[in-house]
Structure 1
Amino acid sequence: MTTLDNRPNTALLVIDVQNGVVTGAHERDTIVGTIAALVDKARASGTEVVWIQHSGDDLPADSEAWQYVPELKRADSEALVHKRYGDSFEATDLEDVLAARGVGHVVISGEQTDACIRSTLHGAIGRGYDTTLVADAHTTGDLTEYGAPTPDKVIAHTNLYWEYSGAPGRVAAVVPAADVDFAAKVPSS
């Protein structure tokens, strides 16, 4: 399905589940628990887990806020990609990490639905990857004071529009965590 040659593998991307990012996130504990279960499922199936860690002026590298939440533990053998932009591919080595592992399908989880998750979804499909958004494994904070919809509506809207997305030779899918099967091929849209 992917338009990338010789890339039959899948990777779970865990994006920005950091102390300073998920503080106050919608259903934080439930989402983190769901992501932890996905990480366990990926590891059990031999699927690559790639950790994405954001930094910036408001999230300085090596600070407590920058650290991944304590409920999630990265294995030393799992890739860690540092980023400074919403799209996890932009100005990072993510493409090199995925290419080295033969990955043509990414399964996306993490924080912030209306920023880094959306940017990475579009960045992935635009670069030739099949993309699966885990419907109940991404979240966002409450930005209603800035005119945004409530977090539950942001999440629902992102799930809805990604379900109907795609590109020539690529699949965009949305599945609940319980239905993620790392051993299976990409779900059809």
Structure 2
Amino acid sequence: MTTLPDRPNSALVVIDVQNGVMECSIDSDAVIARIASLVDRARAEGVAVVWVQHSDDGLKFGSDAWRYVPELGEPRDGEALVHKTYRDSFEDTDLEERLAERGVGRLVVAGAQTDFCVRSTLHGALARGYDVTLVGDAHTTEDLSEHGAPAPAQVIAHTNLYWAGQTAPGRSVAVLDADEVVLSEI
């Protein structure tokens, strides 16, 4: 149902599951395990896996904190690796080109941080015409309550509620748990 013509394919987009991000995030072991399972399923079904990797002053490009968690391994040949410096994975990156060359019109999104890069990328995708599924139990964030944010579990729950209620003409939006996601379906 995407508004993007000739884009029948899906992609699993794994956002910022990096050492320095996940070490501060809640329930990170369980989230990483769910994402690893999704990656395995996507590969088995021939669904594109797109890896997004953030760098900034706190995540220096090439540092150990910047690297993806070892539980997910390295991207395989043919899998897109997108480097970003903004929260929205589309902003000033080649993500759109990588998706276009793979004929992708539907994104299945998992990763970190819920209230920053995940949420920004969800909106960026929807605004660009993609169908977007958020994997409700495969995203996480750190505790920023000392800065006025709600507790992390509330941030995650609210994001799932908020995203499930999004609509846009000609596009579909969903929130599904990892075991409910059908990757190859559009």
Shorter chain as normaliser: what TM range? over 0.9
- Determine the structure 2 residue equivalent to 1:143: 144
Indicate the structure whose relative CO is greater, using CA pairs within 8 Å and at least 6 residues apart.
Answer: 2
CA displacement at 1:72 relative to structure 2 = 0.6
Distance 1:160 1:101 in 2: 30
- Determine the structure 1 residue equivalent to 2:21: 21
Q: Which amino acid aligns with 2:121?
A: T
Q: TM-score, normalised by structure 1?
A: 0.96
Alignment of 1:85-124 (within 5 A): 85-124=86-125
Distance 1:91 1:21 in 2: 21
Q: Which amino acid aligns with 2:57?
A: D
Distance 1:120 1:94 in 2: 11
CA displacement at 1:115 relative to structure 2 = 0.2
CA displacement at 1:76 relative to structure 2 = 2.4
Instruction: Structure 1 unaligned segments of length 5 or more: list them.
Output: none
Distance 2:15 2:31 in 1: 12
User: What RMSD, in angstroms, separates the aligned Cα atoms of the two structures?
Assistant: 0.6
After TM superposition, which residue ranges in structure 1, 4 or more long, deviate above 3 angstroms? none
CA shift digits 1:102-155 (9 cap, x unpaired): 000000000000000000000000000000000000000000100111111000
- Determine the structure 2 residue equivalent to 1:62: 62
Q: Is the partner of 1:21 in helix, strand or coil? A: helix
Distance 2:182 2:13 in 1: 15
Distance 2:110 2:94 in 1: 19
Alignment of 1:1-189 (within 5 A): 1-73=1-73, 74-185=75-186
CA shift digits 1:9-47 (9 cap, x unpaired): 000000000001111211010000000000001111100
Distance 1:111 1:99 in 2: 24
CA displacement at 1:166 relative to structure 2 = 1.5
Matched residue count = 185
- Percent identity over the alignment is 62
Q: Is the partner of 2:172 in helix, strand or coil? A: strand
CA displacement at 1:57 relative to structure 2 = 1.3
Q: Which amino acid aligns with 1:43?
A: R
Instruction: Structure 2 unaligned segments of length 5 or more: list them.
Output: none
Q: TM-score, normalised by structure 2?
A: 0.98
Distance 1:165 1:37 in 2: 26
Q: Is the partner of 1:108 in helix, strand or coil? A: strand
**In the alignment, is the contact (CA less than 8 A) between 2:88 and 2:117 conserved in 1?**
yes
Moved more, 175-184 or 3-12: 175-184
